[in-house]
Amino acid sequence: MLSFSSASLGWRMRTTSQPYLIDRKNFEPAYLRLYESGELNRRVERALEKLTDCRLCPRDCGVNRLENKFAVCKTGRYAVVSSHFAHFGEEDCLRGTRGSGTIFFGWCNLRCVFCQNYELSWLGEGHASQPDELARMMLYLQELGCHNINFVTPEHVVPQILEALQLAIQRGLRLPVVYNTSAYDSLDSLELMDGVVDIYMPDFKFWDQELARRYMKAPDYPEAARRTIREMHRQVGPLVFDENGLALQGLLIRHLVMPGDIGGTRQILEWIARELGPSTYVDLMDQYYPAGKVSGTDYVEISRRITPKEYRLALEAARHAGLRRLDERAPAKHFAIWQ
């Protein structure tokens, strides 16, 4: 039985007899209703106003980004975009046969020391993009045939995304929107995104606050992640697919298994099963490798890949927690059309 708590989403779909399946022909992206009612425009105005005293994420910097001032996330008035392309490295239910239309934002509000996108998140690779340019990227990805628009590291640029999305919808955007986040978001931001995002994809990284302090300088991360993931679940419910196995709507939680279990895999999986239900869709990722500031001299305890045994234990923890919907991938085809 599907449970969509947000009336703004549930009214648009009719479920098939199978759980977690909906007819593609009955699906419309969530944002269309907000756009048609004028609510999206009001959200854009509210979101831009919030940039004047930025507390869009738990860092609570309070700077005026409309005046191009910046703080932890090093992003002022305009979003920095590092790349946009059809991504074939995402989960099968997102990449499908034509790729996930990914837009990577530069800079980050979290900046893990082991970041696997270090040049983007720490060095801000990319260029500041005006709303019109960002809208054109979305439409280009739609023209390429991508199955969705996948915003990667969107936490610090929610107003800029809304501003551009409105332009893209005016010009014909109709793809589901994926919000691909570290889960270090604020409830204010998620309220702005309620009814806009079709698929929330938070990566729940750490359970222990001291480890979150050591690796992300964010001891409040575990609490923030629990709070925001609960809210994401409230907005969109469990992940549902069309008849071809493509995700259309719902929550997909990622968790990267770390060396020495520093992430707290068992606690995170048990929390997910207990708080959100055993049918929550989870991707237990095994691809950690040392990157960013991790080296043979710094953070040496995580300067290795995980072992097969560590991953096996993580899978056992998922089964023990009762989680029934773990992501499985077909043999990987890691290629992309770069733009």
Q: Please report, as ranges, the residues that interact with ligand SF4 according to CB under 6 A.
A: 54-57, 59-61, 63, 71-73, 109, 156
> Cα(151)–Cα(72) distance, rounded to whole angstroms?
20
If we measure between CA atoms, which residue out of 268, 297, 293, 298 comes closest to residue 280? 268
Distance of closest approach, residue 66 Cβ to ligand SF4, in angstroms:
12
Q: How far is the CB of 74 from ligand SF4 (least distance, A)?
A: 8
* Three-state SS at 138: helix
DSSP E strands in the chain: the ranges are: 79-87, 100-105, 127-129, 149-152, 177-181, 199-202, 240-241, 247-256, 281-285, 325-326, 336-337
Judged by beta carbon, residue 47 or residue 197, the one nearer ligand SF4 is 47
CA 270 to chain centre: 21
Closer by beta carbon to ligand SF4, 80 or else 247: 80
Q: Which C-beta is closer to ligand SF4: that of 55 or that of 217?
A: 55
Residue 156: CB minimum distance to ligand SF4, A: 4
Nearest CB to ligand SF4, comparing residues 223 and 298? 223
- Collect all residues with Cβ–Cβ distance below 8 Å to 306 and sequence separation of at least 6: 257, 258, 259, 286, 288
Least separation in angstroms between residue 189's CB and ligand SF4 is: 8
Helix (H, G, I), strand (E, B) or coil at 215: helix
Contacts of 206 (CB under 8 A, 6+ apart): 212, 215, 216, 221, 222, 225, 262, 263, 264
Nearer to ligand SF4, 220 or 327 (CB): 220
CB of 43 to ligand SF4, least distance (A): 17
Cβ closest to ligand SF4, residue 75 vs residue 249: 75
Which of 269, 252, 272 shows the shortest CA–CA distance to 317?
269
Least separation in angstroms between residue 56's CB and ligand SF4 is 4
Q: Indicate the residue among 84 and 156 with the shorter CB distance to ligand SF4.
A: 156
Shortest Å distance, C-beta 222 to ligand SF4: 18
Cβ atoms of 336 and 104 closer than 8 Å: no
The amino acid at 280: T
